[in-house]
Chains A and B, each alone.
Chain A
Amino acid sequence: MNVQAWTFVLVGLSFALYIGVAIWSRARSTGEFYIAGGRVPPVLNGMATAADWMSAASFISMAGLISFMGRDGSVYLMGWTGGYVLLALLLAPYLRKFGKFTVPDFVGDRYYSQTARFVAVVCAIFVSFTYVAGQMRGVGIVFSRFLEIDINLGVLIGMGIVFFYAVLGGMKGITYTQVAQYCVLIFAYLVPALFISLLMTDHLIPQLGFGGTLADGSGEYLLDKLDGLSRALGFDAYTEGQKGTLDVFFITAALMVGTAGLPHVIVRFYTVPKVAAARSSAGWALVFIALLYTCAPAVAAFARTNLLTTLSNKPYAEVPSWFTNWEGTGLITFEDKNGDGLIQYVGPAAPVENELVIDRDIMVLANPEIARLPNWVIGLVAAGGLAAALSTAAGLLLVISTSVAHDLLKKGIKPGISEHTELLTARIAAGVAVCIAGYFGINPPGFVAQVVAFAFGLAAASFFPVIILGIFTKRMNKYGAISGMIAGIVFTAAYISYFKLVHPELNTAEHWLWGISPEGIGTLGMLLNVGVALIVSYATPPPPLPIQELVEEIRVPRGAGESHELSA
C-alpha cells in the first residue's frame, strides 16, 4: 500500500476508536462534564494529562525546533517538564483538597472576591483560545500534507471530531479519549524514533543512540559528527549554546511556571479521587511526557545529521521524492542562486550563499521519509500528530466551556440556574468555542506564533503566584491578590505586545530589558506579581477568619470531598 492509503486506514481507525470511547463514556451530570465525577484512577489521569499537555507543538514542532536550535532547544525540554515538579509539589494536592471545578473557583473563593474570579476567568479564556487556534491549524497541516485534502476541509473534519466528543462527553469523554490518544501518539512517536536510532547508531533506544557512535563503522560519536558537520557548513556547533545565559534562565523559568499555571492542566487534578492520587497522578503524567520529551532531542539530532548529509552539496536534479513532496506545500524552498545545480545548505559563517529554506515544523513529519522508513510508519506519524492536536484542543475547549457556564453564569450572572440548564449551557459554550477555534484554524491570525508567548507569560504572571500565595501564606488577602495579578498581567502583556506587535523591528537582544526576551518576561512578571501582592497584602487588613481556616483545611489531605456531585 502507498503512504496515502496507509494514512487513510490508520487515521480512520484511530478516529473510530475515539468516537467509540466517547460514546461509551458520555457525561450525565455537571460533575461528570466538568471533572469526570472525580473518579479517574491516577495512572489513567496521568496519561490523559500527558495527552492534554502534549499538543501539536510538542509532537510536530518541538523536535524540529531543537534540531535547528541545538543546545538552546533545551529551554523547551526543561521548561515543559520542570513545571510538573512545581505542579506536584506546590499545586495539585492542595487544589484537589479544595475540590470544586475550576481555577477561577479557587481564586474566587480563596480571595472572597468576584473581581478576582472575573480576572481569573478572563485569563483562562484568553490563554485557552490562544492555544486552541494553533491546534486546529496543526490538524489542517497534517490533513493537507498526508491526505491531500484541502487544509480548510481538514480543519472542518477536526472540528467535527472534537465537537462530537467534547460536547457529548465533557470531561469524562475527553479523559478517556485522551487516554486512547496518548497511546496512539506515543506509539507513533516512538516507532520511527526507534527505527532511526537503530539505523543510525545500532542502538534500539534513542536516548542511548543519542550519545552513541555512528553505525557507519567510523566509530565516531553521533554528536561529534553533528558538531563537525555543522561547523564545516558554517552553522554553530550543535552542542553549544548561542542565547545569553540569563535569557535561557528566564525563558526556562517562564515555561516551567507557565506550565504549572495553565488552566487546562491544573483542572485535570480535580478529576482524581484523592489528594494522594493527585500527587502520584502528576508523577505519572511526567513519566508519560518524559517518554516523548527525552526522545525528542535524540530525534532532533538524528534528523539534523540526516538532513545535512542527505542534502548538502547534492545535485538538485537528484533530490529524493520527500523533498519534492514538501516543496509542493511551500515548506521547503530552494533557489539555485549561483546556478551550479547543487544544493548549498549553509549557515551564516559559510563563504557561499545559502540556497535552501526548510520550515522547522516539517522535521518530525518528514523524518520517516528522510530515513526511508516503511510507508505504514509515515501514516502512523500522521495519526499521532492528529491525536496530539485533537486531545489538546478538546482539553482547552472544555476549560472555555466550563469558564463560561460555571464561572461566568452559575457563579456570576445567574446563580439560580438548575444543573440541567448549566449542563446545557456548558455544551452550547463548548460548541460555540469549537466553531471559533475552527475559524482561527482556517483564517489564522498572522500573530499566532507570537501570541503563544502570551499564553505562557500570562499563565506564569497571573495564576501561578496567586494560587501558590493563596496556599502557602494565610495572610494573603484579596487586595494583594488582585493588585498582584493586575501588576503581573499588565507588565507582561505590555512587554510582549511592545516587542511582538507594536515594534517587532526592535525585538533584538540590545533593546530587551536586561537581555530578557519576550518569551522569558513572564518570569519577571511573576516576581513582580509576588512582590506587589505581598506588599499590598501586609499593608491592608488580614483576610476574614473563615478564609484563614479554609487555608488550614486545604493543607491537610484528610476530609477531601468524596464526590463532587455532593458539594456541587
Chain B
Amino acid sequence: MSERDNRHRYWLKNLRYLSFLLVVWFAVSFGCGILFVDQLDAIRIGGFKLGFWFAQQGSIYVFVALIFIYVFLMNRLDKAFNVDEGDRLS
C-alpha cells in the first residue's frame, strides 16, 4: 500500500471519529440543553430538572469526556497508521 493510500485511509478514519463525536457534542448541548430542554425537564434527578441539568452542568462534563476520548482514539490511530510523532518530547 502506498504512503498516499495510507494517509488517505488515516484521514477517512479520522473523519469518521470526528463525525461521531460531534454528533454527541451536538446532541448533549443543542439537543438536551436547548431544543428538548422542556421535555427533559419533566424528568427529575434529585433537585435538578434533567433539561436544566444538561444545560448548566451535564453538557460541560460530556464536552470534557469527548476531548479525552478523541485524544485516546487518535493516539491509537496515529500508531496504527504509523504517522505518530514518536516519543520525542521537546
Chain B residues contacting A558 (CB-CB under 8 Å) are 78, 82-85
Taking a contact as CB atoms under 8 Å apart, the answer to whether A223 and B7 are in contact is: no
What CA separation (Å) do A280 and B70 show in the bound complex?
9
Which interface class (under 10, 10 to 19, 20 to 34, 35 or more) fits A? 35 or more
What CA separation (Å) do A274 and B75 show in the bound complex?
12
Is A78 among interface residues, defined by CB-CB distance under 8 A? yes
Which chain A residues (187-244) contact chain B, with CB distance < 8 Å? 207, 210-213, 221-224, 239, 241
Q: Quote the shortest CB–CB distance from B40 to chain A (angstroms).
A: 12
Chain A residues contacting B64 (CB-CB under 8 Å) are 283, 286-287, 290
Q: Quote the shortest CB–CB distance from A38 to chain B (angstroms).
A: 9
Closest to B37 in A: A241
Chain B residues contacting A290 (CB-CB under 8 Å) are 60-61, 63-64
What CA separation (Å) do A275 and B90 show in the bound complex?
12
- Max chain B CB contacts within 10 Å: which of A74, A210, A212, A558? A74
Is A19 among interface residues, defined by CB-CB distance under 8 A? no
Taking a contact as CB atoms under 8 Å apart, the answer to whether B63 and A273 are in contact is: no
What CA separation (Å) do A202 and B79 show in the bound complex?
48
Given A85-B25, A85-B66, A223-B47, A252:B30 Cβ within 8 A: yes
Taking a contact as CB atoms under 8 Å apart, the answer to whether B88 and A210 are in contact is: no
Closest to A208 in B: B46
Taking a contact as CB atoms under 8 Å apart, the answer to whether A88 and B67 are in contact is: yes
What CA separation (Å) do A241 and B56 show in the bound complex?
12
Q: Quote the shortest CB–CB distance from B25 to chain A (angstroms).
A: 5
Interface 9-mer from A350-358, A390-398, A495-503, A549-557: A549-557
Taking a contact as CB atoms under 8 Å apart, the answer to whether B84 and A286 are in contact is: no
Closest to B26 in A: A82
Is A479 among interface residues, defined by CB-CB distance under 8 A? no
Chain A residues contacting B43 (CB-CB under 8 Å) are none
- Max chain A CB contacts within 10 Å: which of B48, B53, B55, B90? B55
Which chain B residues (62-90) contact chain A, with CB distance < 8 Å? 63-64, 66-68, 70-71, 74-75, 78, 82-85, 88-90
What CA separation (Å) do A293 and B90 show in the bound complex?
32
Taking a contact as CB atoms under 8 Å apart, the answer to whether B60 and A81 are in contact is: yes
Given A78-B55, A88-B67, A279-B74, A249:B30 Cβ within 8 A: yes
Chain B residues contacting A82 (CB-CB under 8 Å) are 25, 29, 59, 63
Is A560 among interface residues, defined by CB-CB distance under 8 A? yes
Taking a contact as CB atoms under 8 Å apart, the answer to whether B55 and A77 are in contact is: yes
Given A276-B78, A280-B71, A297-B56, A89:B48 Cβ within 8 A: no
What CA separation (Å) do A245 and B55 show in the bound complex?
13
Chain B residues contacting A28 (CB-CB under 8 Å) are none
Closest to B68 in A: A283
Chain B residues contacting A360 (CB-CB under 8 Å) are none
Contact with B along A264-281 (1 / 0, CB 8 A): 000000000111100110
Given A212-B47, A241-B37, A279-B70, A78:B59 Cβ within 8 A: yes
Number of interface residues of B (CB under 8 A): 45
What CA separation (Å) do A85 and B89 show in the bound complex?
24
Q: Is the interface of A mostly helix, strand, loop or mixed?
A: helix
Q: Quote the shortest CB–CB distance from B80 to chain A (angstroms).
A: 13
Chain B residues contacting A276 (CB-CB under 8 Å) are 71, 74-75, 78, 84-85
Q: Quote the shortest CB–CB distance from B41 to chain A (angstroms).
A: 7
8 Å CB contact of A39 from B47, B49, B59, B90: B90
Taking a contact as CB atoms under 8 Å apart, the answer to whether B55 and A71 are in contact is: yes
Closest to B78 in A: A557
Is A294 among interface residues, defined by CB-CB distance under 8 A? yes
What CA separation (Å) do A559 and B61 show in the bound complex?
33
Closest to B66 in A: A85
8 Å CB contact of A248 from B34, B46, B60, B90: B34
What CA separation (Å) do A252 and B26 show in the bound complex?
11
Q: Quote the shortest CB–CB distance from A253 to chain B (angstroms).
A: 8
What CA separation (Å) do A557 and B79 show in the bound complex?
10
Chain B residues contacting A53 (CB-CB under 8 Å) are none
What CA separation (Å) do A279 and B78 show in the bound complex?
13
Closest to B86 in A: A558
Which chain A residues (27-49) contact chain B, with CB distance < 8 Å? 39
Contact with A along B6-18 (1 / 0, CB 8 A): 0100110010001
Taking a contact as CB atoms under 8 Å apart, the answer to whether B60 and A557 are in contact is: no
Taking a contact as CB atoms under 8 Å apart, the answer to whether A239 and B49 are in contact is: yes
Chain A residues contacting B67 (CB-CB under 8 Å) are 84-85, 88-89, 279, 282-283, 286
Closest to B17 in A: A89
Taking a contact as CB atoms under 8 Å apart, the answer to whether B63 and A239 are in contact is: no
Taking a contact as CB atoms under 8 Å apart, the answer to whether B35 and A71 are in contact is: no
Pull 8 A–B residue pairs with CB atoms less than 8 Å apart, ordered by A: A77-B59, A78-B59, A212-B47, A222-B47, A248-B34, A274-B88, A276-B75, A555-B7
Interface residues of B (CB under 8 A from A): 7, 10-11, 14, 18, 21-22, 25, 29-30, 33-35, 37, 41, 45-49, 52-53, 55-57, 59-61, 63-64, 66-68, 70-71, 74-75, 78, 82-85, 88-90
5 other A-B residue contacts (CB within 8 Å) besides A81-B63, A82-B59, A556-B7: A71-B37, A85-B66, A279-B70, A287-B64, A293-B60
